[in-house]
Amino acid sequence: MTSLAETSFSQSYAEARQKFLALCERRRLAVSSYLNPVPGPDGIGLYTDVARIGPDSAERVLFLESGTHGVEGFAGSGIQCALLGDDNGPRPAAGVALVLVHALNPYGFAWIRRVNENNVDLNRSFVDHASGDYPDNPGYADLADSVVPREWTEASRAAADAAYAAYAAKHGDYAAQTAYKRGQHTHPNGLFFGGRAPSWSAGTVEAIVERHTTATRHAGLIDLHTGLFGYGDCLTPCDPQSPEGQRAGAWYGKVRHTLDKTSGYSGSQGTIINCYTAAAPDIEWTCIGLEFGTRPPEVMRAALRGEGWLHAYGSPDHPDAQRLKQTLRDAYYPQEPEWKELVTARGLEVVSLGLKGLAG
């Protein structure tokens, strides 16, 4: 018998979208679609699709979002499709609505990139672009040539590893991790680039929130991610002692703070959560990121470095292009059936907890 996970996960953005839309049609859910300005492979249109379960009059709304980091959309879409495909899956109680935001970064999902059409990391980009006062990360400049080397040779990769190790030896592991992945606004071709202007996805989030919070007083967000650590670990950027932090703990149990050195977030700012809460500032929000571990940190760094080099200095017809893409995909989307089963079970569990928390 085919398992729920087997039928819910996909092998491409196009398949994931078709599966999501078919499940929405089966459940007679209306879908709003937002077209990204850049086409996908073979010229296909790339969309963020949104479906709502529950009445427009609901005062409590939970947003479940996939694909903030494009390639991580495989797992996020799998959870959303499992929810729609499971007749016994979590459903909102009376007075609560569940809004499914499928593939917030469809470009990255389709083209197997973590970033968007402008090389922007959407979980570092929601800052005050108008002021030009960007979060500072001077350590990134010291590591920039090792994060994304200009040449793709065995010697350059070894030199990049040595540079990172030397920086960590001098400044400490956490400082190296922070310099590498906190986010930066100075190197457009680098990794974790937060951009210098609002993204298409930011405008899309604003439109989605405006559409789905007309009667809302209390809202939650579960932003689905892979690649960091753990088995469906919940994270929040808010103070654990704040009302929102205490609600998150009451709903989901153990919740890590993103500024905690053990969180893996390295003090990153401008997350997607900022965009949701800014779009409806008068609503009481309870937001988390839900992280699923995949591979060891050194594997993830190597995968990001290779794919980053390919887009910054390489070309699609480079002999290593397909291998580098596949390496990135495998890093963020493991193919082991056991991993998919665990992601499905934990994902649905956390959605259920969020819905119950809102209803309470």
Q: Do residues 47 and 152 share a domain?
A: no
Beta bridge partner(s), residue 219: 61, 285
Q: Do residues 89 and 232 share a domain?
A: yes
Residue that wins the pLDDT comparison between 344 and 270: 344
Does a structural domain hold residue 24? yes
In the chain, how many domains are there? Answer: 2
pLDDT averaged over the chain?
95
- First CA to last CA across the chain, in angstroms? 37
Give residue-wise pLDDT tens across range 286-319: 999 999 999 998 999 999 999 999 999 999 999 9
Q: Please tell me the predicted confidence (pLDDT) of residue 260.
A: 73
Q: Please tell me the predicted confidence (pLDDT) of residue 266.
A: 63
CB-side exposure of 34: number of CA atoms within 13 Å? 21
Name every residue whose Cβ is closer than 8 Å to that of residue 275 and which is 6 or more positions away in sequence.
126, 202, 205, 206
Listed residue (240, 219, 236) closest to 288, CA to CA: 236
Domain that holds residue 322: 138-181+298-328
Residue that wins the pLDDT comparison between 101 and 146: 101
Q: Please tell me the predicted confidence (pLDDT) of residue 267.
A: 67
- What number of H helices and E strands is found in the chain? 13, 8
Q: Please tell me the predicted confidence (pLDDT) of residue 274.
A: 93
pLDDT above 90 (res 261): no
Confidence of residue 172 (pLDDT cuts 50, 70, 90): very high
Q: Do residues 226 and 99 share a domain?
A: yes
Question: Stretch 246-261: mean pLDDT, rounded?
Answer: 88
For a pLDDT cut of 90, what percent of the chain falls above it?
88
Q: Do residues 146 and 215 share a domain?
A: no
Under a CB-based contact definition with an 8 Å cutoff, are residues 104 and 48 in contact?
A: yes
